[in-house]
A and B are shown apart, each in its own frame.
Chain A
Amino acid sequence: MIQIKSLNFSFKKGNPILSDLDMTLQPGRTYGLFGLNGAGKSTLLNLMSGMLFPESGQCEVLGSPTKERLPETMSEIFVVPEQFDLPGITPQEYIDLHAPFYPAFDREEMDRLCEEFVLESGTKLLSEHSLGQRKKFLISFALATNARILLMDEPTNGLDIPSKSRFRKVMASASTEERCTVISTHQVRDLEAMIDRFTVLHMGVVIFDHTIESILETLSIVTTHLPETTESIYHEEILGGTKVLKAREPDDPDSPIDLEFLFSAVIEKSDKLNPLFQNGATS
Chain B
Amino acid sequence: MNYSENRPIYLQISDYFCSQILSKKWKAGERIPSVREIAVRMEVNPNTAIRAFHDLQNEGILENRRGVGYFVTGDAYPKVRELKRREFIREKLPGFFRDMKQLGFSCSELEELYRKHHER
Interface residues of A (CB under 8 A from B): 28-30, 165, 168-169, 171-173, 175, 193-196, 212-213, 216, 253-258
- Residues of B32-65 contacting chain A, CB below 8 A: 36, 39-49, 51
**Judging by beta carbons under 8 Å apart, are B45 and A193 in contact?**
yes
- Chain B residue at minimum C-beta to C-beta distance from A181: B45
Neighbour of A213 across the interface among B3, B44, B51, B91, CB < 8 A? B51
Q: Can you report 18 A-B residue pairs in the complex whose CB atoms are below 8 A from each other?
A: A30-B45, A165-B1, A172-B36, A172-B43, A173-B40, A175-B46, A193-B3, A193-B44, A196-B45, A196-B47, A212-B47, A212-B48, A253-B91, A254-B11, A255-B8, A256-B5, A256-B6, A258-B5
Tell whether B28 is near chain A: CB-to-CB under 8 Å: no
**Judging by beta carbons under 8 Å apart, are A172 and B1 in contact?**
no
Neighbour of B9 across the interface among A30, A173, A193, CB < 8 A? A193
- Chain A residue at minimum C-beta to C-beta distance from B43: A168
Tell whether B7 is near chain A: CB-to-CB under 8 Å: yes
B-chain residues with CB within 8 Å of residue A168 when the two chains form the complex:
1, 43-44
Other than the given A169-B43, A212-B48, 18 more pairs (CB < 8 A) read A30-B47, A172-B39, A172-B40, A172-B44, A172-B45, A172-B46, A172-B49, A173-B39, A175-B39, A193-B42, A193-B43, A193-B48, A194-B44, A195-B45, A196-B45, A213-B51, A254-B7, A254-B11
B-chain residues with CB within 8 Å of residue A254 when the two chains form the complex:
7-8, 11
B-chain residues with CB within 8 Å of residue A175 when the two chains form the complex:
39, 45-47
In angstroms, Cα B42 to Cα A249, docked, is 29
Distance in Å from the Cβ of A250 to the closest Cβ of chain B?
15
B-chain residues with CB within 8 Å of residue A257 when the two chains form the complex:
8
B-chain residues with CB within 8 Å of residue A255 when the two chains form the complex:
8
Distance in Å from the Cβ of B41 to the closest Cβ of chain A?
8
Distance in Å from the Cβ of A26 to the closest Cβ of chain B?
12
Neighbour of A256 across the interface among B1, B7, B91, CB < 8 A? B7
In angstroms, Cα B49 to Cα A213, docked, is 12
Distance in Å from the Cβ of B42 to the closest Cβ of chain A?
8
Interface residues of B (CB under 8 A from A): 1, 3, 5-9, 11, 36, 39-49, 51, 91
Max chain B C-beta neighbours (<10 A), residue from A28, A169, A256: A256
**Judging by beta carbons under 8 Å apart, are B8 and A193 in contact?**
no
- Chain B residue at minimum C-beta to C-beta distance from A32: B45
In angstroms, Cα B7 to Cα A253, docked, is 10
Neighbour of A165 across the interface among B5, B39, B43, CB < 8 A? B43
**Judging by beta carbons under 8 Å apart, are A194 and B45 in contact?**
yes
B-chain residues with CB within 8 Å of residue A165 when the two chains form the complex:
1, 43
In angstroms, Cα B48 to Cα A28, docked, is 12
B-chain residues with CB within 8 Å of residue A213 when the two chains form the complex:
47, 51
In angstroms, Cα B39 to Cα A219, docked, is 25
In angstroms, Cα B11 to Cα A193, docked, is 13
In angstroms, Cα B44 to Cα A171, docked, is 8
A-chain residues with CB within 8 Å of residue B41 when the two chains form the complex:
169
B-chain residues with CB within 8 Å of residue A258 when the two chains form the complex:
5
- Chain A residue at minimum C-beta to C-beta distance from B44: A193
In angstroms, Cα B46 to Cα A175, docked, is 7
In angstroms, Cα B45 to Cα A175, docked, is 7
In angstroms, Cα B2 to Cα A193, docked, is 10
A-chain residues with CB within 8 Å of residue B8 when the two chains form the complex:
216, 254-257
In angstroms, Cα B43 to Cα A172, docked, is 6
A-chain residues with CB within 8 Å of residue B91 when the two chains form the complex:
253
